Structure 1
Amino acid sequence: MGVFVGSEALRQGLLTRHQLRTHYRRVFPDVYAPKFSTLSLDDRTTAAWLWSHRQGVVTGLAASALHGARWIDDDIAIELNWPNHRAPTGIVTRNDSLLDNEIVCVRGLPVTSPVRTAFDLARRGPVDAAVARLDALARTTHFKADDVRDLAALHRHNRGVRRLDAVLDLVDAGAESPQETRLRLLLMRKFPRPSTQIPILRPDGYRRYYLDMGWDDINVGVEYDGEQHRTDQESYRRDIKRMEYIQSAGWLVVRVVAGDRPKEIVARVGAARASRAYRK
């Protein structure tokens, strides 16, 4: 038995009060799960919806995760569009205007559509974090910024709408992680906007590799190296061969790792760009 409504299970005779008390734990009021189970984000989202008496609509990051977006923690607060001002810890409720065509069904749950989810994510939280979340959603759903703008015209009085255009202009589905998003945004504050997922071709013209981001007019790339490059020997060996090929194709690549200071990154990238400034 996964997450379930306790009062319903008792009423249906599926278990006794003693069994409910000893073998299960309360996730939210009247919503239970097996005592020693580890709940996934999907489990917690379902539990939150059950707590709303199956009336809430899943929104925000939980909706984004249901649409397939990555890099979302299992312990985030579940956002529901449902008029209730006494949500328990772990649930955030809102009572925003929500049209019927902005709701879809995913895994049996009512969820905001990708476009509506993008609209909500763009309006909330720090800008860089919002862009990272939108990058992840765009990578999996390929929502169109103009569709989000059209939807916004129907909800002009919602909080955060004024910043919508500026945030959407920063979105790039080429980002493969929040770290890449933050790196791209850092570079955009100092240099022309870099392209992402730049194809590096084989001699026969087919794509062989991709660069995280860079400027193909001067053949300067920037790569974010994640932990796998240091902990997985096979990945490390493949990456050496990959980088040797990219460099042989005429690219100058600046590699960034966790812990690099923003000023240092900007200085290194600036130096690389300056060294190629007169290349055509």
Structure 2
Amino acid sequence: MTEVFLGVEALGDGLPRSELRRWYRPIFRGVYIPKNATPTLRDRAVAAWLTSGRTGVVTGVAASAWHGADWVDDDEPIEILVHERRKQAGLLVRMDRVADDEVVTLDGLPVATRARTAFDMGRYLKRAAAMGRLDALMRAAPFERSEVTALMDRYGPVRGVRQLRQLLPLIDPGAESLKESWLRLLLIDDGFPIPETQIPIVDETGEAFAFVDMGWRQLRLAVEYDGDQHRTSRPIYVNDIRRLERIRRCGWEVVRVIKEDHPGAVLARVREAFKRRAEIDEMPESSRPLAPIRSFGRNETAA
């Protein structure tokens, strides 16, 4: 861990002011780190706590990382619950009430509990971002939805609680990336039935050889988000092509989505595939065609 300290305390312990200015730089008001150091998320969270006079409680996305959630960068703004507002760059100050039973000490730092972290992320983040972060927290450190509901009851109609109430039943730890959460919410908001996540694909021997991101098992329709690893890693790309071929041979159709795809184009493709698969599902077993299953192209990109 990088050395993180309050300047006034270091001066009080005998560090010359000239040495403080020469070898250290402020990360938050009154809090210093070595000039050559690149602060981690933990360093910045500790600094946020120190600048609050050791009274603040780390919450939000930073707290979710403390609980083990993935996909949190070191430069993520630190959200902290305090009694006095002190706006600073890189620091999200919340003058919200917080009870003792909503705080735990992790590695010596006061951090919001999993339920309180979910309560704050679901209210303050934008809808899609909140969905992703709630999924990630549930995946890494499962929490009881009832505990979050209890917090909603405790604090009443506070900011963002309506959004949180809508998202809470939709939390799914099966999402393996923030983009998968975004895609699932996009489908739900457009009126599709809530897709199942991490669906096993079973071959003729009854063995599950693959899992698809999300979809509808009865229709054998999957929707997958292709991350950058499919583009940057040749082995992953080759393996994915072969995997998709096996999935199609098992009667599944896969709609693939990349970041360049416009949301409207994604929904149109899924809607078309959903309708087609529903029609096939309604056919008598004896009359179902054995036509090849098509995966729609990637040429519908954002303007």
Q: TM-score, normalised by structure 1?
A: 0.93
User: C-alpha displacement at 1:97, in angstroms?
Assistant: 2.0
State the SS of the aligned residue for 1:36. coil
**Conservation of the 8 A alpha-carbon contact between 1:256 and 1:265:** yes
* Counterpart-to-counterpart distance in 2, 1:205 and 1:56: 54
- The worse-fitting range, judged by mean Cα deviation, of 127-136 and 225-234 is 127-136
**Conservation of the 8 A alpha-carbon contact between 2:25 and 2:33:** yes
* Counterpart-to-counterpart distance in 2, 1:173 and 1:65: 15
Supply the AA of the counterpart residue of 2:281.
R
State the SS of the aligned residue for 1:169. helix
Go from structure 1 to structure 2 and tell me whether the alpha carbon gap of 1:202 and 1:17 turns closer, same or farther (over 3 Å shift): farther
* Counterpart-to-counterpart distance in 1, 2:209 and 2:105: 38
* Counterpart-to-counterpart distance in 2, 1:145 and 1:85: 30
* Counterpart-to-counterpart distance in 1, 2:50 and 2:42: 12
Q: TM-score, normalised by structure 2?
A: 0.86
Instruction: Map 1:1-280; keep pairs closer than 5 Å.
Output: 2-13=3-14, 15-188=15-188, 189-203=190-204, 205-277=206-278, 278-279=280-281
* Counterpart-to-counterpart distance in 2, 1:70 and 1:114: 14
Supply the AA of the counterpart residue of 2:222.
G
- The worse-fitting range, judged by mean Cα deviation, of 71-80 and 107-116 is 71-80
- The worse-fitting range, judged by mean Cα deviation, of 231-240 and 219-228 is 231-240
Go from structure 1 to structure 2 and tell me whether the alpha carbon gap of 1:103 and 1:205 turns closer, same or farther (over 3 Å shift): farther
User: C-alpha displacement at 1:38, in angstroms?
Assistant: 1.1
**Conservation of the 8 A alpha-carbon contact between 1:96 and 1:158:** no
* Counterpart-to-counterpart distance in 1, 2:121 and 2:69: 12
User: C-alpha displacement at 1:32, in angstroms?
Assistant: 0.5
Supply the AA of the counterpart residue of 2:11.
L
User: C-alpha displacement at 1:159, in angstroms?
Assistant: 2.3
Give me the CA root mean square deviation: 1.8
- Tell me, which stretches of 5 or more residues in structure 2 are unaligned? 283-303
User: C-alpha displacement at 1:152, in angstroms?
Assistant: 1.7
